[in-house]
Amino acid sequence: MKKELLMASALVSTLGAASVAQAVTATMSGSLKIGQEFDSPDSGSDTNTTQDQANFSVSLSETTDGGTTISSSFMLENESGGVDDDNAIKLTFSDGSALELLNAGNASGTHDVSIPGAGGEQGVAGTTTANAPTGLDFATPSTTFGVEWHSAADFLADGLKISASYSGDSGVAKAETARTDSSFGIGATYVTTAGDSTVTIGAGFADSSTNTSGTQLTSDAGGMHIGVTAVTGDLTVGVGYADGDTFTDDGATVATANTQVDGSVVKAGVKYVSGDITLNIGAVAGEAKDSTTTGTAGTTDDSWDEVNASVSYAVASGVSAVLGYTSVDVSDEGASDTSGGSAWYVGATMSF
- Per the prediction, the chain carries an average pLDDT of 85
Query: Which pLDDT does position 335 carry in this prediction?
Result: 77
pLDDT, tens digit (0-9, with 9 covering 90-100), for 132-178: 899 999 999 998 889 999 999 999 999 999 999 999 987 777 777 78
pLDDT at 120: 86
Judge whether residue 282 has pLDDT over 90. yes
Could you read off the pLDDT of 229-254 as tens digits, one per residue? Answer: 999 999 999 999 999 999 886 555 55
Per-residue confidence (pLDDT) for residue 76, from 0 to 100: 82
User: Is residue 18 pLDDT above 60, yes or no?
Assistant: no
Q: What secondary structure, in 3-state letters, does 167-213 show?
A: ECCCCCCCCCCCEEEEEEEEEEEEEEEECCEEEEEEEEEEEEEEECC
pLDDT of residue 6: 42
- Per-residue model confidence as pLDDT tens digits over 47-94: 888 988 888 999 999 999 999 999 998 888 776 555 555 678 999 999
| pLDDT greater than 90 at residue 311 | yes
pLDDT digit string (tens) for 211-227? 887 777 788 899 999 99
Task: List Cα–Cα distances, 189 to 98, 101, 204, in angstroms.
Answer: 15, 21, 9
Dihedral of the alpha carbons of 310, 315, 316, 317, in degrees to the nearest 10: 10
Please state the rounded mean pLDDT for residues 339-343.
Answer: 87
Topology (CATH level 3) of domain 2-18+30-351? Porin (2.40.160)
pTM here is: 0.84
Domain ranges of the chain: 2-18+30-351
Query: Quick one: pLDDT band at residue 11, thresholds 50, 70, 90?
Result: very low
Residue percentage of the chain with pLDDT more than 70: 86
- If we measure between CA atoms, which residue out of 57, 108, 54 comes closest to residue 81? 54
